[in-house]
Chains A and B, each alone.
Chain A
């Protein structure tokens, strides 16, 4: 089966600019996750969707980050405006249900200058 797809793979922007990331989960996976992984740290959950509804977004900086999952399939994560500390790898993952194995995408490496 095809894995989780993410684009772009790399992005360099200046602070205060906006950026958007796209994720296409494995077909049939109802649960979708966005993680932020800062260099030297483990992935941190930003937001979790079940179909197109938000299950948990307690660690999402809502003043600048937003995410949506269109029709319960693809998802986009947006940062507006970006700060230097947003430099990280953004990982998307999906699973058949919340308690099952998560399958990760290749990630998007964001550099904010």
Chain B
């Protein structure tokens, strides 16, 4: 069965410092990975997906199939980056469609 692991419940960094939120997955098939973010009092929303290979709000994530990882990185943290971040794995399901499996999330706190 597929699984997503986010080892850190809380990550605290200073403004301007680099950020790396860790995500590891287990899946026997071809993975599709996402990062979702939930800002305070807002809805869960998509931040980025690995197939897009784009940078959103300065964040990037590279899929490393050898290490089965999809870590989220940003070179310089901003106060507005403080939020809950979830890594998610999409797998194909019988009957058609994709199913998302979420990790437990990492709370990022950017301190001044």
Footprint of B on A, CB under 8 Å?
A: 3, 31, 33, 40-45, 48, 50, 55-56, 91, 93, 97-99, 101-107
10 A–B contacts, CB within 8 A, in A order: A42-B4, A42-B103, A43-B44, A43-B86, A43-B102, A55-B93, A56-B99, A99-B97, A102-B100, A104-B43
Contact between A55 and B45, CB atoms less than 8 A apart: no
- Count contacts between A and B, CB distance < 8 Å: 55
Chain B residues near A31: list those with CB within 8 A: 97
Distance of B57 from chain A, by nearest CB (Å):
16
Is B104 in contact with A55, judged by CB distance below 8 angstroms? no
Most buried by B among A3, A42, A45, A48: A42
For residue B17, CB closer than 8 A to chain A, the reply is no
> What 5 pairs between A and B have smallest CB-CB spacing?
A98-B97, A42-B102, A104-B44, A98-B98, A55-B97
